[in-house]
Copies of this chain bind each other. A is one copy, B any other.
């Protein structure tokens, strides 16, 4: 065998962690196999996956209009058949034709321009303009296989060594810590204020920025996840202005993870893109660098498996744009179905289109159900002894704080694991419910959390609540001092 061992591989790979698919999930898959091969072998009869923002895996149906268009673009030779008109909506057929006309040679099987098909980028830019009320340039759009490769690309561009710092919220989505570790940079943590509904204070940014500088680290960029993952908060516009000013003043690239922009559940909050906020403050292309990440995996569509998304790259000089283009070129292009879907989510059916009513019903049904599920789970967490849970204003997660008894913390130590991991493992073994331990997202020292998605279908929520409640009660009993 070749001389490849843990001692001889890239140590940055070893350092990288990715909890969303870590130990607890592996255990869940093993339990699921056992339930299949030996029914009745556990006290539960199914695994309830609350670990990952993967709506369709839990039964959320895809949006019909989007799938109609994708199917027609995959097999355009049926477009002219009469049966097609009875199988597909008229506006899906029309949209598929428009999209095919935008693709050079109508070739959905060809590599596209490295940034993605120009006509689709036009549609996306128009969608951003109508969302923000500020101009968007199709040449600023880079279509990608989901948001993850876009984040990796920016980290690859910016990070030279461990002396380069990337400011990240704590708790954060582990893609960021993983990507920074893989590039050998330094994650500069800033803490969200749990007591203030996971508030993002500019004073905390300043403090951590100065602390990093004093250690010889050069902060290069600030990651903001809005709506928050795993924390579910939606930033107020005024707060965003402070963040923009901070980035402008310190010359930081603002990496805005805005993949949950359609997922806002409370009437008092509204999503504002960071680019819109910057433009509304009078800051243009020459004043601040903002990269906005969007994905087809989230929102009301939840098309994770399609791996579509884009980044809108503003405020970089042409020589840097050329480098970004080169990095995009090395992988040739993102997948065309994902590109098409990205254009659809930024330009869904409009009033008067044949599909508009059914589309709106599907969309509203999903979003209002998510809001109800968020509220039910939030309330359930807050009734548990020693648990506090902020509101899920947006995104797809709750991140409750669990005050674990000292005895449980010792028990975790005894089996060489973290207390939150210990709790999640016990929960899974007792109930089949899969949470992700807070450690995977990092958390304020001495606090323990877990991340729970709001995605189980509504008819499963009562089971989640009752099993969780019963487990938690007996867990607290067991470890009471």
- Residues of A that sit less than 8 Å from B by CB: 1-6, 8-11, 13-14, 16, 18, 20-21, 52, 54-59, 62, 64, 67-68, 70-72, 74-75, 77-78, 81, 83-84, 86-87, 104-105, 107-112, 114, 145-146, 148-149, 152, 156-160, 175, 178-179, 182-183, 220-221, 247, 251-254, 285-289, 297, 302-308, 315-317, 319-320, 323, 326-327, 329-338
Contact = CB atoms under 8 A, between A and B. Distances in A.
Contact of A330 (B18, B55, B333): B18
Contacts of A288: 1-2
Nearest to A175: B330
A54 B8 CA distance: 37
A332 B160 contact: no
A305 B335 CA distance: 5
A157 B13 contact: yes
A286 B1 contact: yes
Given A158-B4, A305-B111, A329-B21, A145 B87 contact: no
B305 A4 contact: no
A57 B107 contact: yes
- Copy tally for this chain in the complex stands at 2
B335 A109 contact: no
Contact of A72 (B71, B247, B315): B71
Contacts of A5: 317, 319-320
Given A9-B157, A146-B331, A330-B182, A302 B253 contact: no
Contact of A323 (B14, B75, B114, B156): B14
Contact of A289 (B2, B74, B86): B2
Contacts of A252: 2
A332 B146 contact: yes
Given A112-B305, A326-B13, A67 B59 contact: no
B330 A62 contact: no
A11 B333 CA distance: 23
Contacts of A59: 105, 107
Contacts of A338: 335
Given A56-B107, A146-B331, 7 more contacts: A2-B289, A4-B220, A4-B316, A6-B319, A59-B105, A109-B304, A307-B336
